């Protein structure tokens, strides 16, 4: 199977044999972050998120270089970084550890708003909502997601606490899945480049359609770009004016999902506390398995999340502006509802 895949596309075995995407927080990097993310920074960014720009201007060189290494992996490498050992979660107070994550993330890319409330720092927790409610985003539940992309160049997660059972992170390479699809059924693979309607799940500006229409796959030069969330494509049917999936589109998406779900295609990882994961949304899809949570609310699975716009990332087709607000490299992506509200809250 491996010979079918181009150099940028990987299957699980490729990812597991070349582990250059696995990095570590060294004591010297952690010291630099601790010294930079002072109590002043913690107070300022909670009060006024745009003050992050000011602090980024005084970032230690070694953190800038580490962030650049991660960004290069995202844009030109495996599209993925797992950075282990963020021990600030246990060595300093939670506010400093969380703001340290935000500030370091801002060196990798520009933080973007993740929901209609303007949250720049997301809290991925099960708040007891159901994914079949069309106004709910699936990260707010404990249910199995499905392979999807987030609406931003890259997503970063910091695991504060894993679930006692389940909650594995799965990642898959879009180009690898596409190339396998071409081998299986070239006619269906072509359908992946047709626009399909996707539900905005209620998070949009008053003058925007509640759904947008975009192909799941587009070529950006010689790079394949994927934007995909199957549940939101299905729930777009709740709008009378949204174009319907025809049977061939549905078969194409079914085959794409089947390939992504092949254990030879995707790579699983179980987060430990202090793991940071960075995923490039244009080249990879991600998923999370269902989990059973702790009975004590204070011990529940908790991930912090950033959505980042990456300087130096690929050009995107103009159609991405429907979802990304703009296609300007380094200043695009996230959820906009027509205001410029941005907040950083340290509690879910
Ligand atoms: Fe996601």
How many angstroms is it from 35 CA to the middle of ligand 1?
31
Q: Which two tokens stand for residue 328?
A: 């300007």
How many angstroms is it from 229 CA to the middle of ligand 1?
9
**What mean pLDDT, rounded, does the chain reach?**
93
- Determine contact, residues 279/155, Cβ cutoff 8 Å: yes
Q: 14-18, 39-43, 202-206, 213-217: which has the minimum mean pLDDT?
A: 202-206
pLDDT of residue 2: 42
pLDDT of residue 1: 43
How many angstroms is it from 157 CA to the middle of ligand 1?
10
Strand partners, 111: 308
Identify residues whose C-beta is under 5 A from ligand 1, the ion: 150
CATH number of 24-182+263-324: 3.60.130.10
How many angstroms is it from 62 CA to the middle of ligand 1?
29
Compute the average pLDDT of residues 86-112.
97
How many angstroms is it from 305 CA to the middle of ligand 1?
10
pLDDT grade, residue 195 (50/70/90)? very high
Q: 40-54, 71-85, 138-152, 182-196: which has the minimum mean pLDDT?
A: 138-152
pLDDT of residue 138: 74
pLDDT of residue 227: 97
Q: 58-67, 136-145, 234-243: which has the minimum mean pLDDT?
A: 136-145
pLDDT surpassing 50 at residue 187:
yes
Q: Which two tokens stand for residue 261?
A: 């779900």
pLDDT surpassing 50 at residue 3:
no
How many angstroms is it from 28 CA to the middle of ligand 1?
31
How many angstroms is it from 149 CA to the middle of ligand 1?
6
How many angstroms is it from 83 CA to the middle of ligand 1?
18
How many angstroms is it from 11 CA to the middle of ligand 1?
20
pLDDT of residue 207: 85
pLDDT surpassing 50 at residue 335:
yes
Helix axes 94-108, 39-47, angle to 10 degrees: 70
pLDDT grade, residue 140 (50/70/90)? confident
Q: Where are the domains of the chain?
A: 24-182+263-324
**199 φ, ψ to 5°?**
-70, 135
pLDDT tens-digit map of 293-321: 998 888 999 999 999 999 999 999 999 99
Higher pLDDT, residue 201 or 183: 183
Compute the average pLDDT of residues 72-100.
97
pLDDT grade, residue 11 (50/70/90)? very high
Strand partners, 195: 215
Q: What percent of the chain has pLDDT over 90?
A: 83
Q: What percent of the chain has pLDDT over 70?
A: 98
pLDDT of residue 6: 64
- Would you tell me how many other CB atoms lie within 10 Å of the CB of residue 212? 23
Largest interatomic CA distance in the chain: 58
Compute the average pLDDT of residues 58-74.
98
Q: Which two tokens stand for residue 10?
A: 């990987």
Interstrand relation of 22-24 and 80-84 (parallel, antiparallel or unpaired): parallel
- H or E element: which one contains 304? strand 302-309
Compute the average pLDDT of residues 231-251.
95
Higher pLDDT, residue 70 or 136: 70
pLDDT of residue 7: 66
pLDDT grade, residue 161 (50/70/90)? very high
State whether residue 212 is helix, strand or coil.
Answer: strand
- Determine contact, residues 60/35, Cβ cutoff 8 Å: yes
């Amino acid at each position: 199977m491996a010979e079918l895949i181009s150099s940028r596309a990987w299957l699980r075995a490729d990812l597991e044999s070349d582990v250059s995407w696995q990095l570590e927080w060294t004591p010297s990097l952690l010291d630099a972050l601790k010294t930079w993310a002072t109590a002043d920074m913690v107070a300022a960014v909670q009060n006024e998120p745009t003050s992050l720009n000011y602090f980024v201007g005084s970032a230690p060189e070694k953190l800038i270089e580490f962030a650049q290494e991660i960004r290069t992996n995202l844009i030109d490498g495996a599209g993925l970084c797992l950075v282990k050992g963020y021990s600030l979660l246990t060595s300093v107070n939670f506010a400093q550890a969380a703001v340290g994550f935000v500030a370091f993330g801002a060196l990798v890319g520009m933080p973007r708003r993740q929901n209609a409330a303007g949250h720049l720092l997301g809290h991925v927790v099960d708040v007891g909502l159901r994914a079949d409610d069309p106004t709910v985003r699936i990260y707010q539940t404990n249910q199995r997601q499905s392979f999807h992309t987030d609406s931003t160049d890259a997503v970063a997660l910091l695991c504060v606490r894993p679930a006692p059972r389940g909650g594995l992170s799965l990642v898959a390479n879009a180009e690898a899945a596409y190339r396998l699809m071409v081998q299986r059924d070239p006619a269906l693979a072509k359908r992946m480049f047709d626009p399909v309607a996707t539900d905005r799940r209620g998070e949009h500006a008053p003058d925007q359609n509640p759904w947008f229409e975009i192909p799941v796959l587009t070529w950006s030069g010689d790079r394949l770009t994927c934007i995909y969330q199957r549940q939101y494509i299905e729930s777009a049917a709740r709008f009378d004016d949204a174009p319907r999936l025809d049977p061939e589109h549905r078969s194409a998406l079914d085959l794409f999902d089947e390939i992504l779900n092949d254990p030879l295609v995707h790579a699983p990882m179980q987060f430990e506390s202090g793991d940071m994961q960075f995923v490039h949304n244009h080249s990879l899809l991600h998923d999370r398995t269902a989990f059973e949570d702790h009975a004590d609310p204070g011990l529940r699975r908790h991930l912090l999340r950033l959505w980042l716009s990456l300087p130096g990332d690929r050009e995107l087709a103009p159609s991405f502006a429907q979802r990304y607000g703009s296609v300007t490299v380094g200043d695009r992506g996230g959820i906009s509802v027509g205001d410029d509200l941005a907040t950083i809250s340290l509690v879910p």
